């Protein structure tokens, strides 16, 4: 599809993935996503994308990973999360660690919180939120290309959404691996573009 038609504001919603203080911000307790986001400079570009999207009438939905202190509702089925499962303070629900980075937030934004897994759709409010907004295309931003963005994209496609990924508004670690994921996996199931290309279309 033509990119302009694909990202028409009337049916497009911007998603941010785990752009939380405890993941990529000042309260991060694990290094990979935070370092990837900082070194790539993508946080500023996500902020710019969200600002232009809102001005064009689109909504922004922040997909947030969180845990209850007792970890009820979460699973011990993923090696990467096991070191944190006995820590009641890890991304605890309602704490500053789960807050979206302040430069990405606006009063009209929506949030979808998940307590389990690596992708934001299954068992959360995200799909109903998007359906209520009349969304047909989602713009996927955030971290990480290693797991979260890939999972978000696959789930969105399976649910019938078009997915557009601005490649400079996502990050993976190491950076070289992130580029390989974009080239060999996501390019085949999503439309790849840049923040500048999207903001130019919306601004015009």
Q: Write the CA distances from 85 to 82, 114, 124, 179, integer angstroms.
A: 5, 15, 20, 30
Q: Write the CA distances from 100 to 44, 180, 194, integer angstroms.
A: 14, 28, 22
Which domain does 44 fall in, by range?
3-203
Number of domains in the chain: 1
85 and 69 in contact (C-beta within 8 Å)? Answer: no
- CA neighbor of 86 nearest in space, from 98, 94, 74, 102: 74
Q: Which two tokens stand for residue 96?
A: 């500053």
Write the CB contacts of 187 (distance below 8 Å, at least 6 apart in sequence): none
Alpha-carbon distance of 201 to 204, in angstroms, equals 5
Percent of the chain with pLDDT over 70: 100
- CA neighbor of 20 nearest in space, from 39, 46, 56: 46
CATH number, position 17: 3.40.50.850
pLDDT digits (tens, 9 = 90+) for 54-102: 999 999 999 999 999 999 999 999 898 888 889 999 999 999 999 999 9
169 and 145 in contact (C-beta within 8 Å)? Answer: no
Alpha-carbon distance of 198 to 204, in angstroms, equals 10
First to last CA, the chain: 19
pLDDT digits (tens, 9 = 90+) for 120-146: 999 999 999 999 999 999 999 999 999
pLDDT at site 187 = 98
142 and 16 in contact (C-beta within 8 Å)? Answer: yes
pLDDT digits (tens, 9 = 90+) for 178-192: 999 999 999 999 999
């Amino acid at each position: 599809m033509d990119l302009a038609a694909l990202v028409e504001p009337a049916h497009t919603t911007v998603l941010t993935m785990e752009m939380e203080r405890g993941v990529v911000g000042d309260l991060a307790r694990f290094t990979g996503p935070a370092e990837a986001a900082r070194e790539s400079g993508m946080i500023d570009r996500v902020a710019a994308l969200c600002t232009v999207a809102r001005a064009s009438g689109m909504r922004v939905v922040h997909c947030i990973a969180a845990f209850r202190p007792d970890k009820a509702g979460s699973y011990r089925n993923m090696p990467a999360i096991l070191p944190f499962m006995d820590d009641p303070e890890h991304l605890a629900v309602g704490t500053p660690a789960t807050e979206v980075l302040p430069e990405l937030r606006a009063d009209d934004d929506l949030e979808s919180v998940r307590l389990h897994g690596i992708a934001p759709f299954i068992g959360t409010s995200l799909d109903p939120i998007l359906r209520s907004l009349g969304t047909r295309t989602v713009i996927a931003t955030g971290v990480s290309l290693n797991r979260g963005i890939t999972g978000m994209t696959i789930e969105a496609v399976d649910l019938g959404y078009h997915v557009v990924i601005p490649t400079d508004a996502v990050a993976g670690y190491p950076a070289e691996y992130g580029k390989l994921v974009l080239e060999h996996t996501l390019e085949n199931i999503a439309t790849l573009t840049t923040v500048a290309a999207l903001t130019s279309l919306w601004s015009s």
